[in-house]
C-alpha cells in the first residue's frame, strides 16, 4: 500500500492535485505571489473589439499573459514529469513530447477563444477535433506518444475540480436540487444498463456503464471515474467521451432554444439544463443563453450532481466485483472492491470536504471563489491535455468497430432522451409551483 502511494497513477494524480490546490490557496490567501495560470481572453481580429472581447494584438502583446503561460507549462510539466518518473518510466522521451503536446493545447485554447467560435463551442470540442485531425491524417508520431496520458491528466484535473464542489450548494438548493440531481441520475443509469445489456444486448458491459454514467452525471468526469471502477478499456473510454462531447455540443446549442420556445421559466429551464447537459462548462454557456437566473440554477444543479461522481464510482466497483465479473463460487472481499475503486476519487472527495468545511468557514465565499478562479484554469489545462490526447490516440476506423452496428449510438440517444424526459418531470414537479412553492433568487445569494 505504501509503495502504491508514490508509484500508482491514481495516487500520483491525487498528490499533484493537492499540490496545485495548496499552492493556489496560499497564493490567494497570502497574496505573496501570483500563481494564476494562463487564460486566453475572448479575442477578435482587428482593433475594434466587440463586447467582452479584446483585439488579438492586445491579447498577445501583454507580458503578463506570457508570464502566466510560462508558469503554467513549468508547473504542470514539472509535476507530471515527476509523476512519470515515480511510476518507474524514463522521462527522457516524455519531457520533449510533453512540451509539444502542450503546444497543441495552446493552439486549442487559442482557437476556442475566438469570439464567434467561443459563443457556440467549448475548448473540449476543439481539443478533440484537432487531435482527431492529426491522428487520422498525418498520424500521431511515435515520439509524441510518451506524452499521451489521457487518464493521468483527467484524474489530476478531477482532484483539482473537487475543491470547487462545495457541499454548501446542497443547502442552497435543498430538496429541489437533490430531487433533480440525485434521484433522476441513478434511475437513468439503471435504465441505460438494462437497455444496453438486455434490449440492445451489448456484450461490452464496462462500455455500457461508462456511457450510462457519462450521460446521466457529467460527461467526461463521470466516464473516467466509472470506467476505472468497471475496468473499461482505453478504447471504451475514448468512445464514451467522444459521443458525450458531440451530443453535449448539440444540446448546448439547441436545448436553450427549445426551452425558450416552450415559454418555460428561467428557473425551470436552467435546472433542466443543469440536469441533462453533460459538461459543466457547457451548462454555464447554455444557462447563460437563457438568462442570469437560469445560469445560476443550471450551475447549482450540475454542482450537486457532480458530488455523485465518487458515490457512483464506488457502487459501480461493488456491482462489477459482486455481480458482473464474479465467476462461479468466487468469493469477493473488501480487497477486491478497494482494488477496483479509483483512488483519485478519494482526492476529489477530500478536496471537496476541505473546501466546504475548512477553507470556506475560515475565510469567506469571495476568497474561496478567488481560489477556484486560480484552480479552474489549472484544471482546464489538465483537461485540454487529456482531450487532445484522446483525439491523438483515436482512430475513426477503431471507433466505427466499437459502435457495434450503431447499438452504442442508440444506447446514448435513447438514454439521453429518457434522461431529459425524467429530468423534465422532476423539474416540473419541484419547480412549477403546482406541488411546491417556487424558490426565489434569494436562496442563490
Show the cell assigned to 25.
Answer: 490557496
Query: Closest Cα partner for 158 from 35, 297, 370, 306?
Result: 306
Q: What is the pLDDT of residue 308?
A: 82
Q: Say what the pLDDT of residue 198 is.
A: 93
The pLDDT assigned to 306 comes to: 81
Give me the mean pLDDT over the 11-15 stretch. 93
The whole-number pLDDT of residue 93 equals 93
Name the pLDDT band for 76 (thresholds 50, 70, 90).
Answer: very high
pLDDT in tens, 318-377: 888 888 776 655 555 566 677 777 788 889 889 989 998 999 899 888 899 899 999 989
Question: Which pLDDT belongs to residue 52?
Answer: 62
Whether 219 has a pLDDT exceeding 90, the answer reads no
Q: Please tell me whether residue 43 adopts helix, strand or coil conformation.
A: strand
Q: What integer pLDDT is reported at residue 371 of this predicted model?
A: 94
Q: What's the average model confidence in pLDDT over 83-89?
A: 91
Closest to 215 (Cα-Cα) out of 187, 257, 234, 235 = 187
Residue 248 pLDDT > 90: no
Distance between CA atoms of residues 105 and 385, nearest Å? 6
Q: How confident is the model at residue 393 (pLDDT cuts 50, 70, 90)?
A: confident
Contacts of 128 (CB under 8 A, 6+ apart): 241, 242, 245, 387, 388, 390, 391
- For residues 124 and 283, give the distance between their C-alpha atoms in angstroms, rounded to a whole number: 13
- Percent of the chain past pLDDT 70, that is, above it, reads 87
Model pLDDT for residues 261-308, shown as the tens digit of each residue: 988 888 899 899 988 987 777 787 788 778 878 887 888 888 888 888
CB atoms within 10 A of CB 382: 29
Tens digits of per-residue pLDDT, 14-42? 999 999 999 999 999 998 988 988 888 77
What residues contact residue 187 under an 8 Å CB cut-off, 6+ apart? 422
| Predicted pLDDT of residue 444 | 44
pLDDT in the model for residue 272: 92
Report the candidate in 291, 249, 296 with the shortest Cα–Cα distance to residue 128.
249
Q: Residue 5: its pLDDT value, please?
A: 73
Q: Which residue has the higher pLDDT, 425 or 244?
A: 425
Average pLDDT (120-136) is 82
Q: Per-residue DSSP letters for 295-329?
A: HHHHHHHHHHHHTHHHHHHHHHHHHIIIIIS--TT
pLDDT for residue 158? 85
Task: Look at residue 46 in the predicted model and tell me its pLDDT.
Answer: 61
pLDDT beyond 90 at 439: no
Would you report the helix, strand and coil content of the chain in percent, each value rounded to 5?
Answer: 75, 0, 20
Q: Grid coordinates representing 283?
A: 451548462
Instruction: Provide the pLDDT for residue 443.
Output: 46
Average pLDDT over the chain reads 84
What lies within 8 Å, CB to CB, of 47 at 6+ separation is 55, 57
**Segment 140-177, tens digit of pLDDT:** 899 999 999 988 998 898 899 889 877 776 666 667 87
Range 410-437 average pLDDT: 90
What is the pTM (predicted TM-score) of this model?
Answer: 0.82
d(CA 323, CA 13): 29
Work out the pLDDT band at 227, boundaries 50, 70, 90.
confident
- Residue 320's pLDDT is 85
Q: Which residue has the cell 494564476?
A: 36
Amino acid at each position: 500500500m505504501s509503495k502504491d502511494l508514490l508509484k500508482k497513477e491514481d495516487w500520483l494524480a491525487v498528490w499533484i492535485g493537492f499540490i496545485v490546490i495548496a499552492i493556489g490557496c496560499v497564493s490567494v490567501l497570502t497574496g505573496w505571489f501570483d500563481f494564476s495560470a494562463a487564460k486566453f481572453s475572448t479575442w477578435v481580429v482587428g482593433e475594434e473589439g466587440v463586447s467582452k472581447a479584446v483585439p488579438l494584438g492586445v491579447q498577445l502583446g501583454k507580458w503578463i499573459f506570457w508570464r502566466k503561460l510560462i508558469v503554467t507549462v513549468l508547473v504542470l510539466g514539472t509535476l507530471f514529469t515527476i509523476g512519470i518518473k515515480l511510476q518507474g518510466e524514463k522521462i527522457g522521451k516524455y519531457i520533449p513530447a510533453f512540451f509539444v503536446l502542450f503546444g497543441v493545447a495552446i493552439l486549442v485554447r487559442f482557437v476556442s477563444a475566438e469570439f464567434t467560435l467561443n459563443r457556440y463551442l467549448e475548448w473540449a470540442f476543439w481539443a478533440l477535433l484537432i487531435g482527431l485531425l492529426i491522428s487520422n491524417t498525418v498520424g500521431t508520431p511515435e515520439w509524441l506518444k510518451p506524452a499521451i496520458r489521457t487518464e493521468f491528466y483527467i484524474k489530476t484535473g478531477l482532484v483539482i475540480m473537487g475543491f470547487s464542489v462545495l457541499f454548501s450548494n446542497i443547502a442552497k438548493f435543498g430538496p429541489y436540487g437533490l430531487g433533480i440531481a440525485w434521484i433522476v441520475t441513478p434511475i437513468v443509469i439503471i435504465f441505460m444498463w438494462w437497455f444496453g445489456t438486455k434490449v440492445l444486448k451489448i456484450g461490452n458491459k464496462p462500455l455500457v456503464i461508462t456511457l450510462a454514467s457519462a450521460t446521466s452525471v457529467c460527461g467526461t468526469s463521470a466516464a473516467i471515474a466509472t470506467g476505472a471502477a468497471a475496468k473499461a478499456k482505453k478504447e471504451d473510454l475514448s468512445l464514451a467521451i467522444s459521443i458525450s462531447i458531440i451530443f453535449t455540443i448539440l444540446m448546448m446549442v439547441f436545448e436553450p432554444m427549445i426551452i425558450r420556445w416552450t415559454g418555460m421559466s428561467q428557473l425551470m429551464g436552467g435546472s433542466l439544463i443543469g440536469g441533462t447537459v453533460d459538461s459543466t462548462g457547457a451548462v454555464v454557456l447554455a444557462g447563460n443563453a437563457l438568462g442570469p437566473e437560469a445560469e445560476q440554477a443550471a450551475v447549482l444543479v450540475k454542482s450537486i450532481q457532480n458530488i455523485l461522481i465518487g458515490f457512483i464510482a464506488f457502487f459501480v466497483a461493488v456491482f462489477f466485483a459482486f455481480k458482473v465479473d464474479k465467476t462461479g463460487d468466487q468469493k469477493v472481499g473488501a480487497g477486491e472492491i478497494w482494488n477496483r475503486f479509483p483512488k483519485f476519487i478519494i482526492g476529489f472527495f477530500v478536496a471537496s470536504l476541505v473546501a466546504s468545511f475548512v477553507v470556506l468557514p475560515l475565510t469567506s465565499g469571495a476568497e474561496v471563489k478567488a481560489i477556484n478562479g486560480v484552480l479552474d484554469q489549472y484544471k482546464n489545462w489538465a483537461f485540454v491535455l487529456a482531450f487532445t490526447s484522446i483525439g491523438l490516440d483515436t482512430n475513426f476506423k477503431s471507433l466505427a468497430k466499437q459502435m457495434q452496428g450503431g447499438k452504442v449510438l442508440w444506447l446514448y440517444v435513447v438514454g439521453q432522451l429518457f434522461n431529459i424526459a425524467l429530468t423534465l418531470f422532476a423539474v416540473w414537479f419541484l419547480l412549477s409551483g403546482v406541488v411546491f412553492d417556487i424558490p426565489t433568487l434569494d436562496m442563490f445569494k
